[in-house]
Every structure is written in C-alpha cells, then in structure tokens.
Amino acid sequence: MYKCGIIVGEEHQELQRKEIIEVKRLLNEEIREKEAVQKTANDLRNMVKKAEGEKTELSRLLQDARLKIGGKLPSHNNVLHAANMSF
C-alpha cells in the first residue's frame, strides 16, 4: 500500500511539473506577443508623427508657393484697373 502512495505521489509531482512547464511556456508566449504588439504600436505612433510632420511641412511649402505666385501675378484689382485704363 505504501508503494502505491509513493507512486501516486511521484505521478502527481510529475504531472504538476509538466503543468508548470506548460504554464511557463504559455506565459513566455504571451510576453513575446505583448512585446510584438507594443513594438507595432510604437512603430505606428512613429509613422503617424512622421506623417503629421510631413503634412505640416508640405502645407507650409504650399503656402509659401502660393505667396510667391500671388506676389508675381498681378492681383485681381490691378488687372481690372489696367483694363479700365486701356479704354
């Protein structure tokens, strides 16, 4: 009877050891997945920041270009005034 108790106890310990190993494996898998998600989130945040910066820069360049074009072309009032003077 005592031998059966030892065997059952050893089997129970072996089962617990296997369960612990499995839990550790699952935990490590979850940690790796969480790290991958965090990296992706950081990458996306950086891409958004870069895109926002590029958008701001392009808006500024567009505004500068419009100001340059506006300064080189006669204004609407000047064109009308010149047309009236020619009659």
- Full residue range of the structural domain in which residue 65 is found: 2-85
DSSP letters for the chain: -HHHHHHHHHHHHHHHHHHHHHHHHHHHHHHHHHHHHHHHHHHHHHHHHHHHHHHHHHHHHHHHHHHHHHHHSPPHHHHHHHHHHT-
- pTM check: above 0.75: no
Interval 75-82 mean pLDDT: 51
- Number of domains the chain is built from: 1
Q: What is the pLDDT of residues 4-39, one digit of tens each?
A: 556 678 899 999 999 999 999 999 999 999 999 999
pLDDT of residue 9: 84
